[in-house]
Amino acid sequence: MNEYNYIIVGSGIAGLYTSLLAREHGTVLILTKGSIDECNTKYAQGGIAAAIGQGDSAELHFRDTMAAGAGLCDPEAVRLLVEEAPDRITDLVNFGVPFDTLNGEVALTREAAHSVPRILHAGGDATGEHIEVTLSRMARLAKVTILEHFLATEIIVEDGVAKGVRALDCSSGSFEEFGSKSVILATGGGGGLFKFTTNPEIATGDGIALAYRAGAEITDMEFFQFHPTALRLPGVTRCLISEAVRGEGGILRNEEGRQFMFDYSPDGDLAPRDIVARGILSEMRKTGSDRVFLDVTHLPSRKISARFPHIYRFCLDHGLNITKSLIPVSPAAHYMMGGVKTNVWGETNIAGLFAAGEAACTGVHGANRLASNSLLEVVVFAKRILERTGKASRPSKRARRRREQDYVSLSDREATGAVPALSLPAFQSLMWDKVGIVRSGEELEKAASILASWQETLKKPSDRPSYELSDMILVGRLMAEAALIREESRGAHFRTDFPEPLPAWQRHIVFRKTD
């Protein structure tokens, strides 16, 4: 078995940033199922939040984050996030990330649910891509071993301690084992579980499935954020239309041309994402359309092309000049708030196993992520993982508990009706239709039953597609079961049969595998 001090699964910003810190403490291996350039981070347009501007403070950032989380944020984790943000921005600048400037100072913009401008961008709406390119270049130059097209299939656990990873070489079809004192899951989220998503195809929830099968605790899986505005053009990839477009004055209009978001929130177009997504869905149903429109034609054209060069060029390449025509948009699956449960040091309940980025649930996001806190969460808590593992003291074996928690496990289910034939499109349609933006107990029951039946009939995986499908079905079950258990509406989780938040549900649902 090849031995390393650190094994990092995933090559997005979480994996790359962690690897650059880890190289100071020992040997590092990155396993990535695709190429190092194939990740979710590069599609992040919104930016990274930090209280570094005049009139802003860590306290204001703390309040905004707590409010967005709808009562389920971990105050300690949020406090660490906002207070350590400026130092982590400095780290990225030192790594060479080219944040946008205005008159010699870092330019800051505002996004929904932020009380002041505090979002840093790089290349306008290409922030994630700039950070990814910068870090991947540094990782290639550093003493970091990178194995591309290696899919992690199992976390090796002995006596309750993570000892390494078993992985499939997707090129040869052979398996290899790698040993390590610290295994860090940085596999990203699971937008690929849904029919419509802003994520690339690689976002299949692999890290969460790996962790669950190894015995790690998984929490807050009912909270999945659907971005309100993804480009809706026939035959065109669902390009994200950044929330910052509305922050700069973009207006949502329905098929009739009417601005409608003030019907759903006093904050109008700058309401939290879950409210905007549901508002758009409601308007689409009222008008019988599959889209609404985002209007920036009243804004200076030079401002739009300079501030959002990626969006402007992408739309122009597909025949749409957004400075003159309305942008057709509709919601799409975007970001997973839940994941592998960690404490504020990135530790899971399995000694030696850590999680960072979207695959982790640090407690920062609660029931609804505040825009542009995700990239910040990566750099803050990745740093803390390395602070913990770099010490002589042994990491604790269990993650710290937060708030009240219900511990459950996936139970056997009997099919209650006809089970459709399993295929990736059938799975993604099921998740979108029954575990999507608006849910109900009846539809969640159907989804949970079908998912359990599919899982029962799955053949043993043998290649990347079959492993990914197996992982997606498991993660889909965790989502559907959590959403079924939570009999209320809170943050990104909305149920028509329980449309209000209930004080009794201000607690977390935690899954852990039982033998």
| 348-384 pLDDT per residue, tens | 999 999 999 999 999 999 999 998 999 999 999 999 9
Q: What is the reported pLDDT for 392?
A: 45
User: What's the whole-model pTM score?
Assistant: 0.93
- Supply the DSSP symbol for 410: -
**496 pLDDT above the threshold of 70:** yes
> What is the 8-class DSSP label of residue 189?
-
Kindly tell me if the per-residue pLDDT of 41 is higher than 80: no
Question: In terms of Cα–Cα distance, which of 337, 338, 313 is closest to 323?
Answer: 313
- Maximal C-alpha separation, the chain: 64
Report how far residue 385's alpha carbon sits from residue 340's, in angstroms, rounded to the nearest whole number. Answer: 14
Tell which residue, 200, 186, 212, has the closest CA to residue 478: 212
Q: Does the annotation count 258 as an active-site position?
A: no
Give the Cβ contact number of residue 167 at 10 Å.
23
Residue whose pair of structure tokens reads 């595998």 in the numeric block: 513
- Give the span between the Cα atoms of 33 and 39, in whole angstroms: 10
Which of 23, 232, 273, 291 is the catalytic position? 273
DSSP secondary structure code for residue 359 in this structure = G
Task: Sort residue 74 into left (φ over 0), alpha (ψ -120 to 50) or beta.
Answer: beta
Distance CA(337)–CA(369), nearest Å, equals 7
Tokens (6 digits) for 433: 């239709």
Residue 323 to residue 123: CA distance in whole angstroms: 19
User: Per-residue pLDDT for 505 more than 90?
Assistant: yes
Give percent of the chain above pLDDT 90: 78
Q: How confident is the model at residue 211 (pLDDT cuts 50, 70, 90)?
A: very high
Task: Give the helix ranges, DSSP H, for 166-287.
Answer: 206-214, 243-247, 273-287
Cβ-based neighbours of 446, under 8 Å, separated by 6 or more: 416, 417, 434
288-345 pLDDT, tens digit each: 999 999 999 999 999 999 989 889 999 999 999 999 999 999 999 999 999 999 999 9
Q: Residue 320: exposed, middle, or buried by beta-carbon count in 10 A (0-12, 13-18, 19+)?
A: middle
pLDDT at 346: 97
Domains and CATH numbers, the chain: 229-332 (3.90.700.10), 407-511 (1.20.58.100)
